[in-house]
A and B are shown apart, each in its own frame.
Chain A
């Protein structure tokens, strides 16, 4: 069984630039999550999708972050414009029945 795929693995941008991350969940997993993990901290949920609908985006900084999952499969997370404090690892996870979440390898973002 293929795992959660994410790309790119690394991204370096300057502040005020925009960036997008892509996630392909495990086939058949209806629930998809985006997390932000700052160095030395545990992951923080940004947004949760159930199929292509948003379940929870209460911690998503909506003035600069956006996410979509148009066909209920792949998802993209965008930051525009980026700030220095956005430097983090962005993790995508998926789950079948909401119990066990499977995480992708993450995208490490550095904002200079």
Chain B
């Protein structure tokens, strides 16, 4: 059964600090690994999409890494801002009719 596990479940950091969110996935066959940001009351927005041959991808202050051997991914947020407060969801894609396996997300709160 395909599975995506994320940690921590929630995180509180001070504005300006960096943080790293973790994702372990078991997705077969594996096509790509995605990170989404979901603001409260909004739909998820794609941050990065990585195939098995990519081990890092950046989108502004967001940098995702992928280790296809250990089936782990991380999302690093640099110099956090209040607007980064959201849930971050890791998603595995089998590439089969775009079937996605969603993690339960990490809820990040950035405070002053």
Listed in ascending order, the chain A residues whose CB lies under 8 Å from chain B are 4, 31, 33, 40-45, 48, 55-56, 91, 93, 95, 98-106, 108
Contacts and interface: CB of A to CB of B under 8 A. Distances in A.
A98 B32 CA distance: 12
B46 A42 contact: no
Contacts of A98: 97-98
Contacts of B99: 45, 56
A1 B97 CA distance: 25
A109 B33 CA distance: 29
A45 B46 contact: no
A103 B43 contact: yes
Interface of B: 4, 32, 41-46, 49, 89, 91, 97-100, 102-105
Contact of A45 (B41, B49, B100): B100
A86 B28 CA distance: 29
Contact of B41 (A33, A43, A103, A105): A105
Contacts of A44: 102
A109 B49 CA distance: 30
Contact of B42 (A95, A99, A101, A106): A106
A105 B42 contact: yes
B98 A31 contact: yes
Contacts of A93: 43
Contacts of A4: 43
B3 to A, nearest CB: 11
A42 B97 contact: no
Centre residue among B32, B103, B105 by max chain A CB count within 10 A = B105
B44 A43 contact: yes
A34 to B, nearest CB: 12
